[in-house]
Structure 1
Amino acid sequence: MKGDKLLCEIYRSSRKEEMYLYVDKRQGLAEVPEALLERFGKPVLTMTMILTPEKTLARAKVSDVMTAIRDKGYYLQMPPAKEEYLLDLYRTPTEARY
């Protein structure tokens, strides 16, 4: 990867909602470990985009994504953590009042 631009492909997981893999378009999924791909499920191409330091992403820093792709060959974006209070609401039994 030369310069400050990267043509990136973004894949979503077929197994886990809101989990994405970012890879260099030239290498594709070749650098992603087989064990990760097994847990990720079938990668579904979501989009192709040019990453630059000026670009912003919704849940990741572009510099982190570009560094990970340069160093490891991929960047894995995990789903956001659930809000603790929502988990508490889920765990709390509710009464049905009629």
Structure 2
Amino acid sequence: MICAVYKTRKKAGMYLYLPKKDQFDSVPEALMKQFGTPELVTLIALEKRESLAGVSKEKLVAALEEPGFYLQMPPKEDDLLLEHRVSKGLPPRADKEIKL
């Protein structure tokens, strides 16, 4: 099985996997609007791969068969300010608004 991988300029680390190049019929219209203009990154021969970055081969193949696409989301970003406040014994968010 060949898999086409697309990226979006709207969100770094977000990728759309399709079983066939440039066939977006199985992707919901609302998702395509959020994803924006897809840019082809690569074509992958899945039978030659034992693993993929960020997703198991089995999960990817199952998604490509039904519903016909796989959306890979970027990893959750750490909230460094929250971590700092908690490490200092402060509440997670400041109660007062800062007026400039």
TM-score tier by shorter-chain length is 0.7 to 0.9
Write the distance in 1 (CA, Å) between the matches of 2:43 and 2:49. Answer: 17
The runs of at least 4 consecutive aligned structure 1 residues that moved more than 4 Å come to 89-92
Aligned pairs, number = 87
Q: 1:55 to 1:38 in 2, by over 3 A?
A: same
2:66 counterpart SS class: helix
Which stretches in structure 2 are left out of the alignment for 5+ residues? Answer: 86-92, 94-100
Kept in 2: contact 1:11–1:46 (CA 8 A): yes
Taking structure 1 as the reference length, the TM-score comes to: 0.76
Which stretches in structure 1 are left out of the alignment for 5+ residues? Answer: 1-5, 93-98
Q: Percent identity?
A: 36
Q: Give the aligned partner of residue 41 of structure 1.
A: 36
Kept in 1: contact 2:2–2:45 (CA 8 A): yes
* Cα RMSD after superposing both structures: 2.5
Taking structure 2 as the reference length, the TM-score comes to: 0.74
Answering whether residue 18 of structure 2 is matched by residue 23 of structure 1, we say: yes
Write the distance in 1 (CA, Å) between the matches of 2:39 and 2:84. Answer: 31
Kept in 2: contact 1:53–1:62 (CA 8 A): no
| Structure whose CA Rg is larger | 2
Q: Which amino acid letter does the alignment assign opposite residue 9 of structure 1?
A: A
Answering whether residue 51 of structure 2 is matched by residue 50 of structure 1, we say: no
